[in-house]
Amino acid sequence: MVKHDPLDMRLSREYCRIVLGMDKLYREGHGSTNEASFDREGLVPINLTDETPHLYESWEQVRQDLIGLRKRYLAVENEMRRNYMQQQIGSLLALAEWCSGRDIPFREKVRGFLYVNENPVPRSERSRLHQKLDDLLSWRGFRGSLQEKVAAWEEARRVPHDELESVVKELLDQAKEQVVRHLFPQMADIEVTPEIVYGVPYQAYCDYVNSKMYLNGDLSYTYEALRHLVTHECFPGHTTHMRIRELGVKAGTLPLDAGLVITNTASSPVFEGIADNGMRFIQWGTTPDDEIYEVYQQIRSISGLNAAHMIHAEHKTLEEARAFLREFAFGQESWIASRLRFITHSLRAPFIYSYWRGNEAVHEAYRRVPKEERTQFYQFLYANMLSADTVKQYG
C-alpha cells in the first residue's frame, strides 16, 4: 500500500469538493436523457464521503480550480500517486470541457477522459479470437459453422429464467467464500442480494450502497456468464473493490478520493479491469466451458468498443453497428439493443472502452506477478487509485 503524505491527504479533500461540485453542476445543467438509470448516476455514481460540494456557476470556474489543483499535486512525493493524479485531473478537465458544450471528437474523448488507446481492436485480433473460440467449441464436440456452434453451446449451458435469481444467489455465496478465504477476510460480513430488473441498458449492475446486484431479466444467460457477472459485479469485483476502499477511507489510510466513483475518468479502466479479471483472482476459470466463455466474453467486450468507434468516429449507421454485433459477437437482438443503448448514450459512449482496455492493463500487470507475490499485488490493486498506465508501476 502506498504511504500517503499529509499534502496528498489535504489535496484529496479539495479534489473531492471540486468533483462533487462538478457533479452538482452537471445534474443541474444536463437535464434528463432517455436512460433513467444513467441519469441517476450523474458524474459521480458512488460517493462514500461526507464532503460538501463546491458551488459552481460555470464550467470555467471548475476548470480554473482543477488547473490549480493539478499544479499543486506535482509536489506530492510518491511518484505513482503523482502520475495518477495528473491523469485523473486531466480527465476531469476534459470532462469539464465537454460539459461546457465543446464538441469533442469521439476518439479525443476516449483518450482525454480515460487515458487509454482510442483505436478499435484490429481485424487480425478479432479473427484470432474467432479461431480460438471455434477450436474450443470443436474440441467440446460442437459441429457446424462458428455461429451454429456458439448457438448450440449457449443453448446447452443456458440457465432457465425462473432459476436465475437462485443460481446467482448460490454463485454469490460461493464467490464470496473464495474471496474471504484467499483475498480479503474483511469481506466476511458483506451480503449482496440479487434482483432481476427489466428495461435497463446493461447486463448486470452493482448497487454497492444498497448491497444489491441487478441482473437484466430481458436477456438470457449461460451458467458461465452468470459466474463472470457475479465475479465482475461483486466478489472479487466492484463490491469487494469498493469495500476495501471504503474501509481505507474510514481508517484514514487512503486519500479521500478513494471514496468516489467517477464516470469516464482515468480511474475507470482499472475499476472495470479489476472486475473483469475477477474469475482469475479467485481461480474460477478451470473448466472447458469456463475457457470457452472467457474467449466469448473477450469477443463481446471488444465488440462494444468497436461498435462505439463505428458509430461515433467512423459515422456508420446504427444498422451497420447492429450487424457487426450480430456477426462478430453472435449477439441476440435483445443483447444488441441493450448494448446500443449504452454506446449511444452521450456520457457513457466513451466509457465502453474501460472494459476491454482495463482488462488488458490489469491482466498485463497480473501475469507479471509471481504466485508468491499475488497477495501483495491484490493489496496494491484494491487499496490504491490507479489508471491504466500507473497500474503498470507495481513493484
Per-residue pLDDT band for 263 (boundaries 50, 70, 90) equals very high
**pTM for the predicted model, two decimal places:** 0.96
Predicted confidence (pLDDT) at residue 309 exceeds the cutoff of 80: yes
Per-residue pLDDT band for 155 (boundaries 50, 70, 90) equals very high
**CA gap 13, 268 in Å, rounded:** 20
Per-residue pLDDT band for 38 (boundaries 50, 70, 90) equals confident
Cα separation values, 303 from 149, 283, 339, 357, 367, Å: 19, 26, 10, 12, 24
Contact 18, 65 (CB under 8 A): yes
Average pLDDT over residues 337-348: 95
pLDDT at 36: 79
Average pLDDT over residues 110-116: 98
pLDDT at 40: 86
pLDDT at 31: 60
Average pLDDT over residues 304-319: 98
pLDDT at 71: 98
| Type of residue numbered 131 | Q
Cα separation values, 57 from 18, 21, 28, 62, 66, Å: 13, 10, 10, 9, 15
Average pLDDT of the chain to the nearest whole number: 96
pLDDT at 3: 57
Per-position DSSP letters for 248-305, written without gaps between them: HHHHTSS-GGGGEE-SSSTTHHHHHHHHHTHHHHTT---SHHHHHHHHHHHHHHHHHH
**What crossing angle do the helices spanning 59-72 and 6-29 adopt, rounded to 10°?**
170
pLDDT at 34: 73
351-395 residue pLDDT tens: 999 999 999 999 999 999 999 999 999 999 999 999 999 999 997
Predicted confidence (pLDDT) at residue 2 exceeds the cutoff of 70: no
- Residue entry with cell 466469448: 296
Average pLDDT over residues 238-260: 97
Cα angle, residue 383 at apex, residues 342 and 45 outer, rounded to 5°:
30
Task: Please list the alpha-helical segments (H only) found in 282-367.
Answer: 288-312, 318-328, 333-343, 353-367
164-212 residue pLDDT tens: 999 999 999 999 999 999 999 999 999 999 999 999 999 999 999 999 9
pLDDT at 1: 46
pLDDT at 350: 97
282-293 residue pLDDT tens: 999 889 999 999
pLDDT at 37: 79
Predicted confidence (pLDDT) at residue 35 exceeds the cutoff of 80: no
pLDDT at 92: 98
pLDDT at 139: 97
